[in-house]
Every structure is written in structure tokens, then in C-alpha cells.
């Protein structure tokens, strides 16, 4: 991308749109895999990323030396891996119990939670108007979740928890990028951790997998791997506040895929929630752009 004359922010935008499309495809394939436990789907989703990231590190110029973690980064890799794994579990559960567009939108609240976590993780201090945007995003989430305080809204609450966990994970991905950790190592470490975590669940309650289901899970893993590399690169190339709005293109991709392949059509309240949350994200992006222009004028 550098050969195309793109700056780091433009590269980050392309990476995050690529990630959005890959994750929308992943959600579709996970749903098409049928009635399998979320941890079993997670295992196969992660095993593909594990092999790809291993090969990437092994075939790099450094060879096995490329597997070395930079000093002081292990704890941050663990924080990223734990958040990412919980996020996957929650997201896959939501995908199986909600329209994939609703599940995607709840997961896409992650940039707003990243802002909250960045206060003590990255030392950033959001302003009042940024907090107001977060509040607006929560209002949008209420329209999507449609809380009824019974078991019906439970999958939506789990989906929201997935968005929180993803926000935590992406904040640490940014921190690792700031500390010079390679994106391939971040993906590899996360893939190893999340694969190991699912193994006890697999032994305790393994469900037989048909050839068709295995194919869907392999496709989900392939799409997830592309998304994982893209999202890691995106947050390492540019701050979340400058590029996160483009992450919401996943909701559009998910709605289109859900309509054509799953005959899913979101209700009116969900669309209101989509508009509110995307509107909040756009407002935040415009605000960040204005701040950057002001900073450039003062330089």
C-alpha cells in the first residue's frame, strides 16, 4: 500500500474495511455451519489462524527468531488474547441466536469501549463531547438489544459483552503496535491462546461434524484470519478515533449477506439503532478530523 502513495491513515482505512468484509463473511459461514456449540466453532475458527500465523512467522526473514516476544510485551499479549477469546465466544453465541446484522452491530460497539479502556491503558483522556457520543451509541444499542428483561434478550446482552471484550482486545492491539510488536506475533499468540482455551470444552462435549459443516468452519477460519491480520494492521497504522467509523461497514456487509443467504431482514427498531450508532461513529470521526486539522495549523 505504501507503493500506492497512501499515508498511514489511508492504509489503516483500507485495512479496517477489508477486516469488516472478512468478519462479515466469517459470521455468515459460522451461521451456515449449523447447530454446533460456539466453542467448537471457535476452535476451528482459530486453528486456521494459528497455522497461517505460524507459517508467516516461520517463513519470515528471521525464521524461528521471529517467534520472540519483545521485552515487556507478554502481559499485553495476554490481555489482548483474553479479551479476544471472550469476544469470540460471545460473538459466536450471538450469531447463532440473532440476525447476523444485529450480532455484527453489537460487536461493532467495540470502538466506543476502546475509548473508555484507553483512559488507563493508553493514557488518553476523552472530552465531554466524546462521552456524549458514547452515550448516544448506548442509546442505539438499546434499540438493537430491545431489552425485555427476560431470556429473549439474553443473546443480545451476550453480543454486547462481546463488543466490550473486543474493545478491550483492540485497545491492547494498539498498545502492542505502539511498543513495536509485529502484527503476525499478535495474531499467533492470540490464536494459540484461544485454541488452547477451547480444547477442554471440546473434550467435555464434542459434537460430530459433517463434511459440509467442516467446510463452512474452514471458510470461517480463513475469513477470520484475513480479518484478524487486517484489523491488527489497521489499529497499528492509525489511532482508533481516526479510522473506527469505517469498521461499521461490516454491518452493511452483514445485512446484505444475511438477506441473500439467510433470508434475514432486520426490524424497524434495529434499523433505528443502526442509524444512531453509525451516526455517533460518523460524528466522532468528523470531530477527530477537525482536531487533527487544528493541530496541523498550530504546527
275: number of Cβ within 10 Å: 12
Residue whose C-alpha is closest to residue 41's, from 25, 30, 26 = 30
Q: Is the pLDDT of residue 265 over 70?
A: yes
CA gap 220, 159 in Å, rounded: 18
Model confidence pLDDT, tens digit, residues 59-70 = 876 666 667 888
Q: What is the pTM of this model?
A: 0.78
As a whole number of angstroms, the distance between CA 172 and CA 12 comes to 17
pLDDT at 2 over 60: no
CA distance linking residue 176 with residue 168, whole number of Å: 13
pLDDT in tens, 11-59: 888 898 899 899 889 989 988 998 888 889 889 888 988 998 888 888 8
Which pLDDT does position 194 carry in this prediction?
92
Does residue 101 contact residue 264 with C-beta atoms inside 8 Å? yes
Please give the Cα distance from 279 to 152 (Å, whole number).
27
- The residue that leads in pLDDT, 74 or 187, is 74
The domain spans of the chain are 2-298
- Residue 162 CA to residue 109 CA, distance in Å, equals 9
**What's the average model confidence in pLDDT over 233-249?**
76
CA dihedral for 222, 227, 228, 229, sign (positive or negative):
positive
Per-residue pLDDT, 78: 96
Amino acid at each position: 500500500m505504501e507503493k500506492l502513495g497512501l499515508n498511514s491513515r489511508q492504509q489503516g482505512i483500507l485495512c479496517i474495511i477489508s477486516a469488516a468484509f472478512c468478519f462479515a463473511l466469517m459470521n455468515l459461514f459460522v451461521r451456515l455451519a449449523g447447530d454446533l456449540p460456539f466453542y467448537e466453532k471457535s476452535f476451528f475458527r482459530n486453528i486456521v489462524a494459528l497455522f497461517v500465523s505460524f507459517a508467516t512467522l516461520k517463513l519470515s526473514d528471521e525464521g524461528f527468531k521471529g517467534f520472540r516476544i519483545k521485552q515487556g510485551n507478554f502481559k499485553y499479549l495476554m490481555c489482548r488474547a483474553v479479551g479476544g477469546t471472550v469476544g469470540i465466544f460471545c460473538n459466536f453465541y450471538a450469531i447463532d441466536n440473532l440476525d447476523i446484522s444485529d450480532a455484527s452491530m453489537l460487536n461493532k460497539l467495540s470502538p466506543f469501549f476502546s475509548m473508555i479502556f484507553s483512559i488507563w491503558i493508553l493514557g488518553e483522556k476523552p472530552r465531554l463531547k466524546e462521552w456524549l457520543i458514547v452515550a448516544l451509541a448506548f442509546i442505539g444499542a438499546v434499540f438493537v438489544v430491545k431489552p425485555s428483561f427476560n431470556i429473549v434478550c439474553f443473546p443480545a446482552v451476550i453480543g454486547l459483552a462481546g463488543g466490550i471484550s473486543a474493545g478491550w482486545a483492540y485497545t491492547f492491539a494498539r498498545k502492542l503496535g505502539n511498543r513495536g510488536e509485529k502484527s503476525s506475533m499478535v495474531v499467533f499468540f492470540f490464536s494459540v491462546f484461544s485454541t488452547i482455551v477451547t480444547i477442554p470444552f471440546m473434550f467435555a462435549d464434542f459434537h460430530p461434524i459433517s463434511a459440509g459443516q467442516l467446510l463452512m468452519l474452514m471458510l470461517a477460519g480463513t475469513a477470520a484470519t484475513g480479518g484478524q491480520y487486517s484489523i491488527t494492521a489497521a489499529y497499528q497504522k492509525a489511532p482508533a478515533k481516526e479510522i473506527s467509523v469505517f469498521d461499521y461497514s461490516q454491518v452493511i456487509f452483514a445485512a446484505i449477506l444475511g438477506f441473500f443467504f439467510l433470508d434475514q431482514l432486520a426490524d424497524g427498531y434495529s434499523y433505528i439503532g443502526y442509524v444512531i450508532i453509525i451516526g455517533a461513529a460518523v460524528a466522532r470521526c468528523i470531530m477527530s478530523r477537525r482536531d487533527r486539522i487544528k493541530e496541523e495549523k498550530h504546527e
